């Protein structure tokens, strides 16, 4: 049997960190689905873009990735606004599924643009080796603490935005009933713009965290897509808080599934982690398509 | 360039074969998207199921993977199609009672899981090593002739699928499918089992895609992990169908031909560039094809050959 400390240090904490990253991506997918009513396939590549924009600053100016975070978030949000204007806005009034095809195309355009600009090699931020802090039996890497804390701060900020500001309330209104929101005088296009800014901004933060935690490569957006969708479905699509819970749950499930629960061998081979996300998604679609947080059943 | 040189002839044959294989995939996607309006982001999964099933069933015994069944292709191909259909049925049953986006998300999942299975279960699929020595039909013939014969086989299959799809399009089944695609609520209100029809279209499409995968495995005679790469299969087939004209079987075939000619011709051109540019231009190529997709979606949504409603069989226009 593996000691409890190893269970926490090698499975639970990494699961929590991965869960935070998934949560940041899934919020955007869930919000966009709620407001624009389509599954945004390019969202994983938004995260990739964020991760690569940070490389501009870490590689050229020797910034720490944390310092590059705000400007990366803004940059990715701007790109998202441009992409929306060019590729999604023309489809506002057509069936959602055509927009899905457009986002599928944007996904591959983003990826090939990234490959063209930065090449296909795996990159890191060169933060150097930092030794983990030890608290008794716990070994926690500083970056794990930062990722969890920054994610928590971003989620709280999102909560305050959605519950306290006029714009946040308008956003929830559009998500609940776009037609009713429009006739009550809400500027839907403004809400859409802010949905992109928030969704893409959080995705960029998640992407930078992936770079801090492991490494950056052009195909990582595709690998992220399945866990992100699974998290959004689990949390209930259109429900940002659900997406946070769903992201954490998928991250933890994926890591804990590789724990040797019943024998000396990992319960699920590490190579099959994305299959765990898929299983969760399929179970939810069969059992409760509205998600844990009673999102919308479309 | 001497157009009668054997090199150019071989190029033409490979062009015909490849665009034929893509036409099969495109016709399969048209059954799903053009007929029923179902978004499938996991074409690569059904392609790979078809390719790996036939490769495992027809190759000689090998210590590297599960093989040695030595089945003839006339048996292996239907089995490959059946397996793909069963998997499509399972996923369709779960997702198709929900909104289309859920199917889209689930097909990403299927594509990922199939890719992981092929990568990790090396005892079954040879993993990263790949499966060599897949027999191509007509290999007994002299070199150019066997290529030509295989191209003929591919084209014959395209013709058969086209004929069947056209029949289906004009049949009550195809009309119901269009009705469901354009307004599922109206179709449900007149008593059509919407989910059942969608599952049928999804399964049939997946079976045709598996045939495309099987053809590709026997054409290249080698099957590796690149078969599960979403780029070459899923993305290209989508672009082909959208550019050619979704909802029109002729459009599906024309789209496959045109996009494959553009794709392979630009590859020939860029391969003459100096070293580093070869890799660079391949990304520019994807970028440009992506922009082409967006332009067609926005400006020419019907594609090159727009959809045509099936002819009324018993109702002559002049009698109205």
C-alpha to C-alpha distances, A160 to A25, A178, A200, B86, nearest whole angstrom: 19, 22, 18, 48
Q: Which residues of B touch A (CB under 8 A)?
A: 37, 39, 41, 94-95, 98-102, 104-106, 108-110, 112-113, 116, 119-120, 230-231, 235, 238-239, 242, 279-280, 283-284, 286-287, 289-291, 293-294, 297-298, 301
Q: Give the tens place of pLDDT for each residue, A207-222.
A: 999 999 999 999 999 9
In chain B, what residues touch A275 (CB-CB under 8 Å)?
Answer: 112-113, 116
- The pLDDT value given to residue B314: 60
pLDDT (average), residues A201-212? 96
Say how far apart CA A216 and CA B1 lie, in whole Å: 45
Band (pLDDT 50/70/90 cuts) for residue B39 is very high
Kindly tell me the sign of the dihedral angle through the C-alpha atoms of B179, B182, B184, B190. negative
Which residues on neighbouring strands pair with residue A135, listed in sequence order? A138
Answer with the residue of higher pLDDT: B208 or A223: B208
- The pLDDT value given to residue B1: 46
Q: Taking the CB of residue B24, how many other CB atoms lie within 10 A of it?
A: 31
- The pLDDT value given to residue B42: 92
- The pLDDT value given to residue B271: 76
pLDDT (average), residues A183-187? 92
- The pLDDT value given to residue B4: 61
| B138, B144, B150, B151: CA torsion to nearest 10 | -170
For residue A127, is pLDDT > 50?
yes
HSE-CB of B274 using CA atoms within 13 angstroms = 0
Q: Give the tens place of pLDDT for each residue, B2-20.
A: 556 677 888 899 999 999 9
For residue A177, is pLDDT > 90?
no
- The pLDDT value given to residue A296: 58
Q: Is residue A132 part of a domain?
A: no
A38 touches B at CB < 8 Å: yes
A153 touches B at CB < 8 Å: no
Q: Give the tens place of pLDDT for each residue, A257-293.
A: 998 888 888 888 888 999 999 999 999 988 888 888 7
- The pLDDT value given to residue B319: 45
B158 close to B253: Cβ distance less than 8 angstroms: yes
A284 touches B at CB < 8 Å: no
Say how far apart CA A242 and CA A239 lie, in whole Å: 5
A15 close to A250: Cβ distance less than 8 angstroms: no
Q: Taking the CB of residue A18, how many other CB atoms lie within 10 A of it?
A: 25
- The pLDDT value given to residue B129: 87
What ranges do the domains of chain B cover? 14-228
HSE-CB of A37 using CA atoms within 13 angstroms = 19
In what helix (H) or strand (E) does residue B106 lie, and over which residues does it extend?
helix B100-120
pLDDT (average), residues B193-219? 96
In chain A, what residues touch B121 (CB-CB under 8 Å)?
Answer: none
Q: Is residue A293 part of a domain?
A: no
**Chain A nearest-CA residue for B280:** A116
Q: Do B238 and A87 touch (CB under 8 A)?
A: no
Say how far apart CA A79 and CA A64 lie, in whole Å: 22
- The pLDDT value given to residue A152: 97
Residue % of chain A over a pLDDT of 70: 97
For residue B222, is pLDDT > 50?
yes
Q: Is residue A184 part of a domain?
A: yes
For residue A19, is pLDDT > 50?
yes
**Chain A nearest-CA residue for B41:** A104
A44 close to A228: Cβ distance less than 8 angstroms: yes
Q: Is residue A242 part of a domain?
A: yes
- List the domain range (segments joined by +) for residue A41: 4-123+137-287
For chain B, what's the residue count?
320
Highest mean pLDDT range out of A181-190, B59-68, B133-142?
Answer: A181-190
Q: Do A230 and B109 touch (CB under 8 A)?
A: yes
> How would DSSP label each residue in A49-96?
HHHHHHHHHHHHS---HHHHHHHHHHHHHHHHHHHIIIIIGGGTTS-H
End-to-end, the C-alpha distance of chain B in Å comes to 57
Number of domains in chain A: 1
In chain A, what residues touch B238 (CB-CB under 8 Å)?
Answer: 101, 104
- The pLDDT value given to residue A192: 95
- The pLDDT value given to residue A261: 84
- The pLDDT value given to residue B316: 55
Residue % of chain B over a pLDDT of 90: 62
* Domain of residue A278, CATH code: 1.10.3470
Structure tokens at A70: 């705000």
Q: Is residue A219 part of a domain?
A: yes
C-alpha to C-alpha distances, A158 to A154, A195, A241, nearest whole angstrom: 6, 11, 9
User: How open is the CA angle A151-A153-A155, to the nearest 5 degrees?
Assistant: 70
Say how far apart CA B91 and CA B105 lie, in whole Å: 11
Q: Exposed, middle or buried, A172 (CB in 10 Å: 0-12/13-18/19+)?
A: middle
ipTM reported for the complex surpasses 0.85: yes
pLDDT (average), residues B83-112? 91
pLDDT (average), residues A56-85? 94
- The pLDDT value given to residue A155: 96
Round the average pLDDT of chain B to a whole number and report it: 90
Minimum distance, in Å, between the CA of residue B183 and any CA atom of chain A: 11
A4 touches B at CB < 8 Å: no
- The pLDDT value given to residue A294: 66
> How would DSSP label each residue in A220-252?
HHHHHHHHHHHHHHHH-TT-HHHHHHHHHHHHH
Name residues whose C-beta falls within 8 Å of residue A173's C-beta, 6 or more positions apart in sequence: A180, A181, A184, A186
Band (pLDDT 50/70/90 cuts) for residue A169 is very high
Q: Classify B92 as helix, strand or coil.
A: helix
Say how far apart CA A27 and CA A19 lie, in whole Å: 12
Q: Is residue A131 part of a domain?
A: no
pLDDT (average), residues B86-92? 95
Q: Is residue A79 part of a domain?
A: yes
Band (pLDDT 50/70/90 cuts) for residue B282 is confident
pLDDT (average), residues A140-162? 94
Band (pLDDT 50/70/90 cuts) for residue A298 is very low
Residue B16: name the closest of B133, B208, B144 by CA: B144
For residue B280, is pLDDT > 70?
yes
Round the average pLDDT of chain A to a whole number and report it: 91
Query: Given its phi and psi angles, is residue B232 left (phi above 0), alpha (psi -120 to 50 degrees) or beta?
Result: alpha
Say how far apart CA B60 and CA B77 lie, in whole Å: 16
Give per-residue burial for B154-174: e unless 16+ CB within 10 Å, then b. beebbeebbeebeebbeeeeb
Which of the residue ranges B63-67, B76-80, B277-281, B286-290 would you say has the lowest mean pLDDT? B277-281
Which of the residue ranges A124-128, A216-220, B111-115 would you say has the lowest mean pLDDT? A124-128
């Amino acid at each position: 049997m593996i000691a409890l400390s190893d269970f926490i240090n090698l499975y639970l904490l990494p699961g929590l960190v991965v869960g935070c990253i998934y949560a940041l991506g899934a919020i955007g997918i869930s919000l966009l689905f709620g407001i624009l009513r389509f599954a945004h396939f390019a969202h994983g590549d938004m995260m990739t873009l964020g991760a690569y924009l940070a490389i501009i600053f870490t590689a050229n100016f020797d910034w720490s990735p944390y310092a590059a975070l705000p400007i990366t978030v803004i940059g990715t949000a701007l790109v998202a606004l441009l992409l929306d204007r060019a590729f999604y806005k023309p489809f506002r009034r057509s069936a959602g599924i055509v927009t899905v095809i457009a986002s599928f195309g944007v996904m591959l355009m983003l990826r090939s643009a990234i490959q063209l600009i930065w090449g296909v090699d795996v990159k890191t931020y060169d933060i150097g080796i930092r030794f983990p802090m030890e608290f008794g039996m716990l070994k926690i890497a500083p970056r794990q603490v930062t990722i969890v804390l920054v994610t928590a701060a971003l989620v709280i900020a999102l909560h305050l935005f959605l519950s306290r500001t006029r714009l946040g309330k308008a956003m929830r209104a559009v998500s609940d009933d776009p037609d009713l929101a429009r006739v009550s005088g809400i500027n839907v296009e403004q809400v859409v713009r802010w949905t992109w800014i928030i969704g893409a901004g959080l995705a960029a933060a998640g992407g930078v965290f992936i770079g801090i935690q492991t490494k950056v490569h052009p195909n990582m957006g595709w690998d992220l897509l399945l866990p992100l969708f699974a998290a959004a479905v689990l949390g209930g699509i259109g429900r940002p808080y659900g997406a946070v819970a769903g992201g954490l749950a998928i991250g933890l499930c994926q890591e804990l599934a590789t724990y040797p629960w019943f024998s000396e061998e990992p319960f699920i081979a590490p190579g099959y982690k994305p299959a765990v996300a898929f299983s969760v998604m399929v179970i939810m679609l069969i059992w409760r398509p509205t998600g844990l947080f009673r999102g919308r059943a479309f | 360039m001497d157009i009668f040189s054997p090199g150019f002839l071989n190029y033409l044959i490979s062009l015909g074969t490849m665009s034929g294989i893509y036409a099969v995939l495109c016709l399969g996607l048209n059954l799903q998207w053009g007929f029923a309006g179902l978004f499938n982001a996991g074409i690569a999964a059904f392609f790979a199921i078809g390719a790996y099933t036939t490769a495992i069933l027809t190759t000689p015994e090998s210590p590297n993977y599960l093989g040695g069944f030595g089945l003839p292709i006339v048996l292996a191909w239907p089995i490959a199609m059946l397996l793909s259909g069963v998997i499509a049925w399972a996923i369709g049953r779960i997702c198709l009672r929900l909104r289309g986006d859920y199917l889209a998300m689930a097909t990403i999942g299927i594509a990922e899981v199939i890719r992981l299975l092929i990568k990790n279960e090396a005892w079954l699929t040879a993993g990263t090593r790949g499966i060599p020595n897949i027999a191509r039909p007509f290999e007994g013939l002299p070199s150019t002739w066997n290529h030509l014969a295989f191209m003929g086989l591919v084209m014959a299959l395209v013709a058969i699928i086209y004929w069947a799809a056209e029949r289906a399009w004009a049949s009550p089944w195809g009309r119901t499918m269009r009705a469901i695609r354009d307004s599922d609520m109206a179709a449900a209100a007149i008593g059509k089992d919407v989910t059942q029809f969608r599952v049928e279209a999804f399964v049939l499409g997946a079976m045709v895609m598996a045939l495309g995968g099987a053809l590709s495995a026997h054409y290249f005679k080698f099957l590796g992990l690149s078969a599960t790469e979403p780029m070459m299969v899923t993305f290209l087939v989508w672009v082909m169908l959208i550019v050619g004209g979704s909802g029109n079987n002729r459009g599906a075939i024309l789209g496959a031909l045109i996009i494959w000619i553009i794709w392979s011709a630009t590859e020939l051109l860029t391969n003459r560039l100096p070293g580093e540019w070869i890799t660079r231009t391949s990304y520019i190529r994807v970028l440009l094809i992506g922009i082409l997709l967006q332009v067609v979606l926005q400006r020419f949504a019907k594609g090159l050959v727009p959809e045509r409603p099936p002819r009324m069989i018993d109702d002559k226009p002049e009698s109205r």
